[in-house]
Structure 1
Amino acid sequence: MSTAEMSPEGKTILVVHPGAELFGSDRMLLESVIGFREAGCAVVVALPSDGPLVPELQRAGARVTIVPMLVLRKALLRPRGWPTLLRSSLTGLVSAWRLLGQVRPDAVYVSTIIIPQWPLLARARKTRSISHVHEAEAAGNRFVNAALYLPHLASTRTLVNSEFSLATIRDALVPLARRAEVIYNGVTSPEDPQPPRAELTGPLRILYLGRLSPRKGPDLVLDAASRLQDAGRSVAVTLLGTAFEGYEWYEEQLREQAASSGVEVAFAGFHSDIWPFLAEADVLVVPSRGDESFGNTAVEGVLSLRPVIVSDYSGLREAASRYDTTRLVIPDDYAAIAAELESLSTMWPQVAREVHSNRVVALRRHAPEVYRRDVTAAVTERLRTAPMLAIG
């Protein structure tokens, strides 16, 4: 194969993603698109809805189209969700087939496993597709996991974001694991993050960053803060994030918990720019109760020169365990979180020194430019024909 045939410049990539927010997998999708554009590819991104991800993709030079799409959510797998599942399957099938015919991409990049129709339809169109797996639930039903992974056997190649994700795939569907390649997430960072406070005068500032959901465990942060306050240490908590649609009840529960605890709690909502909140925080807590395929948030804390307390669990362990200023705690144990918060406070001068060397290591391991290069190389491998872009 010649150098010209291997060059991705001038090729068209259809990128498919199940949401338009700016959380972990959404940010990785954006990084992938930036990589494709930097390589000279034309990029069309298909999303099921509008959201804050859309202008970011457009700024990166991608063309965004909103199309009906089957997105597998747990609610759809319950009997009451079956009518919606059937309707979404049919409308998603038609819209995906039509879009593939309009764009005629050189490759289809399928982001996450919960949009199962796209690899199958790309194969039917004789188009190269690459699935990028950002999910891993080792504790889930093995047969359910196998069913979720199965459509992605139609892809030419599979990318995964951690060794933990790869092990989860291997347990459920060995043939897919055999063709999978680990590419660690690229995590952006402020160029010159604000150093931690020299002294912890006033309240200890605790930050939670992520979805407000039971699975992510922000209630554990409130319980830990309340325990510290009862012990005489002044604390302040910021919850940075919003609830999934349908989980508004949980946010209300958190507000009631905060009010009854007496702890100073700020519900900051969603912000695409997380760095000012990390700059104001002393400690970041990542208290997930369930499996996480990787721990982007933990790495963001390290890059921001902040100590991080993280559940000793799945991909979170893989992301956070190699830094001096991260603390792994037993999952679903607010007392363990409180104990580590107290420990970090008592040894603060040492912690404040060590965060700088940890940032250097994280920059090397998770450089966005390395992620973009590796994903682009995997997706554009073997592309030969010129694109035909016919959208709009």
Structure 2
Amino acid sequence: MTRPRLLVAHPGAELYGADRMLLEAATALATDFEVTVVLPGPGPLVAELRARGLPVELCPMPVLRNSALRPRGLLRLLADAVRGAPPALRLLRRHPAGVYVSTLTLPSWPLLARLAGRRSVTHVHEAERSAPRLLRRGMALCPVLSDRVVANSWFTLETLAEVAPRVGRRGRVVHNVVRGPALVPPPRPVLEGPLRLLYVGRLSPRKGPQVALAALQDLRRRGVDARLAVVGSVFPGYEWFEAELRTGAADAGLADRVEFLGFSADVWPHLAAADVVLVPSVGDESFGNTAVEAVLAARPVVVSAHSGLQEAVAGYAGVQAVPPGRPTAWADAVTRVTADWAGARAAALADAETARRRHAPERYTAELRAAVAPSGAGPVPAAVTGVPAVAPGARPFG
């Protein structure tokens, strides 16, 4: 039986969290559709998609970013929209099942889908309440124009509903799939030698690596023998921030205790080498894949107590949520972990088993297929997926 042809649009080709979610979504949708992924340019994601048998097309497309609020950024956005419209329409006409848009930063695709007489589904992964309201309204255009909306968390759906109430009420929530490591090395039985802290993620002010550095400095003042590994890189144009982090570490006398390792597509060796993982986001997070990866690796985790991060780690005994941006509170949390290392270690091992079930690819595939299906099938019952549709501690949108 011939599967209907579906276009899957994504705004980048790297291998960060959003890109990995696109890879999982395209793979899940390929169960029911003949999927073609369209990207704005080349990158490591292309090889990963093709390795799973998914064809890739390159097409210019306008991507909504903060820079669009400035004249030069707005002109570039409009230029990309004009340049990308003809090839996008040709692709849409070749894909009768329409387009799955992996983010709300791509408003042109639902609009062009309407012009081409095609269906569109937007999967929302963004939940930045602190963004300028004008930008948030602009980003809401994508789900407003779509035939169906999927969100990666209840927090994301609620944030969307603040600027697009009608869209928020008809959206569906499908929590992210997060694949764990093939082998989970248990945490060290005894903390001998330096305490190994780990930060994984983009090097940007809103992700909070500066908080991790400040917490390390606080721990050192307390006499704790600790080190910090920083895994991640900057967006182009944010090189100044990495330089600031390195200078700050040197000025604080931490140059020999902080290791900047750059971006790594494989985070599991870094997690296996860590004792405690820090997820110190200062800005809102729609979900929190990095925190879930740390849980899957059976490592005690400290996260910022806000937004989708709390939803992602709800119910895990080995996770502490502390106020964002307060280094002393973060140092206190790390101290609590080390003071009861046996208990923290046991909780982290138990959490890893729970997370493996909660974020299993089978659960995600079943729920996403139901959410995207043209028939409008309802939510997949827990009996099918083996896990509850809403994580403990999360509240359904209403």
Unaligned runs of 5+ in 1: 384-392
Aligned counterpart, 2:57: 65
1:288 aligns with 2:287: no
**1:182-214 CA distances to partner (integer Å, 9 max, x unpaired)?**
000011001321100011111111110100000
Aligned counterpart, 2:223: 232
Distance apart, 1:327 and its partner CA: 0.7
Retained in 1: the 8 A contact 2:207–2:281?
Answer: yes
**1:82-116 CA distances to partner (integer Å, 9 max, x unpaired)?**
32122122112233123223x33413110100010
1:245 aligns with 2:236: yes
Aligned counterpart, 1:183: 174
Aligned counterpart, 1:166: 157
Retained in 2: the 8 A contact 1:33–1:60?
Answer: no
Distance apart, 1:178 and its partner CA: 2.1
Aligned counterpart, 1:216: 207
Q: 1:16 aligns with which of 3, 9, 27?
A: 9
Alignment TM-score, normalising by the size of structure 1: 0.92
Could you say what secondary structure the match of 1:215 adopts? helix
- Which whole-Å CA distance do the structure 1 matches of 2:29 and 2:155 have between them? 26
Match of 2:292, as an amino acid? V
Retained in 1: the 8 A contact 2:276–2:302?
Answer: yes
Identity across the alignment (%): 45
Q: 1:151 aligns with which of 136, 139, 142?
A: 142
Match of 2:189, as an amino acid? A
Aligned counterpart, 1:94: 86
- Which whole-Å CA distance do the structure 2 matches of 1:320 and 1:183 have between them? 15
Match of 1:369, as an amino acid? E
Could you say what secondary structure the match of 1:291 adopts? coil
Retained in 2: the 8 A contact 1:210–1:241?
Answer: yes
Retained in 2: the 8 A contact 1:113–1:149?
Answer: yes
> Which residues of 2 match residues 265-284 of structure 1 at below 5 A?
265-284=258-277
Distance apart, 1:120 and its partner CA: 0.9
Distance apart, 1:309 and its partner CA: 0.5
Retained in 2: the 8 A contact 1:309–1:337?
Answer: yes
Q: 1:83 aligns with which of 71, 75, 94?
A: 75
Distance apart, 1:40 and its partner CA: 5.1
Could you say what secondary structure the match of 1:309 adopts? strand
Aligned counterpart, 1:330: 323
Match of 1:295, as an amino acid? G
Distance apart, 1:55 and its partner CA: 0.9
Aligned counterpart, 2:290: 297
Match of 1:324, as an amino acid? A
Retained in 1: the 8 A contact 2:299–2:349?
Answer: no
- Which whole-Å CA distance do the structure 1 matches of 2:32 and 2:312 have between them? 31
Distance apart, 1:221 and its partner CA: 0.6
Q: 2:357 aligns with which of 343, 364, 367?
A: 364
- Which whole-Å CA distance do the structure 2 matches of 1:337 and 1:171 have between them? 31
Stretches of 4+ moved more than 4 A in 1? Answer: none
